[in-house]
């Protein structure tokens, strides 16, 4: 289940696919961010690292898609290899890119 603080930071701010009312489904990035970082820490990370919703090339993030509720029949990024991933994926990829991983 989504929490409003995380939804505001991850979905509303970063995800082009966000639709209100889908609070029971989580993207893989949301799952990992919520599991390992408090919403306050996440807000600070976004601010400190000036993260935006621009996609960057980062390899090895397929583990995020493995936990995604949208993977099989609702993820354009996974199914169609579109250029725009979900908000959680964007945040994690931008952070890793910034940290040179």
Residue 79 pLDDT > 80: no
Residue range of the domain that includes 93:
4-98
Q: Compute CA distances 97 → 33, 51, 54, 55, 77, whole Å.
A: 16, 10, 11, 10, 19
Look up residue 38 and give its two tokens: 């408090």
Question: Count of domains in the chain?
Answer: 1
pLDDT, mean of residues 25-38: 93
**Each residue's pLDDT tens digit, 54-67:** 878 777 888 888 88
- The pair of structure tokens assigned to 37 is 């970082």
Q: How confident is the model at residue 47 (pLDDT cuts 50, 70, 90)?
A: very high
Per-residue confidence at 14, pLDDT binned at 50, 70, 90? very high
Q: pTM of the full predicted structure?
A: 0.86
């Amino acid at each position: 289940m989504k929490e409003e603080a995380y939804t505001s930071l991850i979905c509303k701010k970063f995800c082009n696919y966000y639709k209100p009312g889908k609070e029971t489904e989580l993207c893989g990035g949301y799952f990992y961010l919520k599991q390992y970082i408090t919403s306050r820490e996440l807000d600070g990370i976004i601010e400190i690292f000036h993260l935006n919703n621009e996609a960057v090339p980062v390899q090895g993030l397929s583990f995020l898609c493995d936990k995604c509720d949208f993977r099989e029949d609702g993820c354009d990024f996974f199914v169609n290899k579109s250029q725009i991933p979900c908000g959680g994926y964007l945040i994690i990829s931008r952070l890793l890119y910034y940290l040179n991983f």
